[in-house]
Amino acid sequence: MEREGMKDSAPEARRHLFYETSHSPSLVDLVGYEKAKDIVDFCFIASPYYPTAAMMEDMQRNLPNLIKSYPSNSAKTSQKNLASVLNVNPENLIIGNGATELIVLINTLLINRIAVPVPTFGEYIEKLRDYRDAELFRLDPDEQYQLRLNEYLTWVRRKNLSALLVINPGNPTGQLFSREEMVDFLEQTKDLELVIVDESFIDFAGEEVPSLLPVAYRYSNLLIVRSVSKHCGVPGLRIGYCYSGNLYLLNRLRRFIPTWNLNSVAQYFLSLLPSTDADYQEARKRLIGDVRWLYNALKETPHLEAYPTGANFVLCKITSGLTAAEVQAKLLTEHMMYVRDCSNKTGMDRYHIRIASQGHDKDERLVEALRALVH
């Protein structure tokens, strides 16, 4: 049954928003601030368990003062707070206003031509100085858009490229490479000028996080990009970071980081990380369990092909004949649920949706709704 009040805000009426970007429109753009509160957002990827309730109350108490205060113009304190939970050297970190700010700087300052497997996170293509600077390695839909590292590297060398991107786990596929596979790949690519590895979802790959952070010092051409917004569940605060063992590489970027690029609330949130890391680890592992349940439930749903995932989301192909846009619209108008229509991603067809886990109870309701829709 269609929910009262949703008809006037149906996504069909604002479909143009989906074609203006390779991302998804926010719920606020689609339905407004008030109605957005009543919709379960499975589209934008963020942990439902962190920050904790106590952290949220802490930030709410401090919000009036934070809003009225300038943020620090020194990045050192925030770097130290983040480095303490990552167990890395703070000097090797750059914190950005979301990973997207850093991707723009990387694309502008470090890249002439780069290999990009597609479909992927659109900023790596769209924020280049020229679209022609990206050489697109198109993944096979008949193989669930899986990236084969050896084939990819062979293609990179054939194209005579000196820079490449790997997203691990993949976005939107969720495909995961082990640390051993990635280290082997890095050994083979030591002669390249730049290897970007985006690990924005790596914390959900397993109880033990297979990040490259502990071995980054071995590879002078490696630049790791990660999104705090994603794994800490605070996309509204816009926090991301880069890490590299190569300080020269980092300092080329650091020169162009704006003063006060992090707002006061974001800086305060980072100050809470060291004392709440145990809570974060518990939340992270709980969500991993939820995603495993979600994947298995979707895999057993007729007319859905769920792709294996190492992230906190699951990519599904709809095989009933409905398009992703149709399923997204029906879920939103009839069930007050919002999933990612991936059809505006370069290299992807019209039949894939991406579902970010929002906790077991909400995931279960979504699965029930999908089974009714795609039969």
Q: 0.75 exceeded by the pTM?
A: yes
pLDDT at 230: 87
Structure tokens at 188: 């083979």
Bridge partners (DSSP) of residue 138 are 118
Which of 147, 56, 162, 78 shows the shortest CA–CA distance to 115? 162
Query: Do residue 25 and residue 108 come from a single domain?
Result: no
Query: Tell me, what CATH number does 211's domain have?
Result: 3.40.640.10
Instruction: Look up the domain containing 14 and give its range.
Output: 7-52+278-373
Query: Do residue 340 and residue 267 come from a single domain?
Result: no
SS3 305: strand
| Residue-level length of the chain | 375
In a domain, residue 318? The reply is: yes
Cα gap 70→291, rounded to integer Å:
39
Residue pair 359/49 in contact by the 8 Å Cβ criterion = yes
Query: Do residue 184 and residue 230 come from a single domain?
Result: yes
Structure tokens at 288: 């991993």
Residue pair 222/165 in contact by the 8 Å Cβ criterion = no
From 245, 276, 307, the end of a domain falls on: 276
In a domain, residue 156? The reply is: yes
- The secondary structure element, H or E, covering residue 317 is strand 313-318
pLDDT at 1: 38
Which of 218, 213, 225 shows the shortest CA–CA distance to 246? 218
For the chain, what is the domain count?
Answer: 2
3-state secondary structure 135-195: EEEECCHHHCCCCCHHHHHHHHHHCCCCEEEEECCCCCCCCCCCHHHHHHHHHHCCCCCEE
From 232, 251, 276, the end of a domain falls on: 276
In a domain, residue 2? The reply is: no
pLDDT in tens, the chain (375 residues): 344 445 554 555 466 666 666 677 788 888 888 888 899 999 988 889 999 999 999 999 999 999 999 999 999 999 999 999 999 999 999 999 999 999 999 999 999 999 999 999 999 998 888 888 999 999 999 999 999 999 999 999 999 999 999 999 999 999 999 999 999 999 999 999 999 999 999 999 999 999 999 999 999 999 999 999 889 999 999 999 999 999 999 999 999 999 999 999 999 999 999 999 999 999 999 999 999 999 999 999 999 999 999 999 999 999 999 999 999 999 999 999 999 999 999 999 999 999 999 999 999 999 999 999 987
From 256, 276, 296, the end of a domain falls on: 276
Query: Do residue 63 and residue 170 come from a single domain?
Result: yes
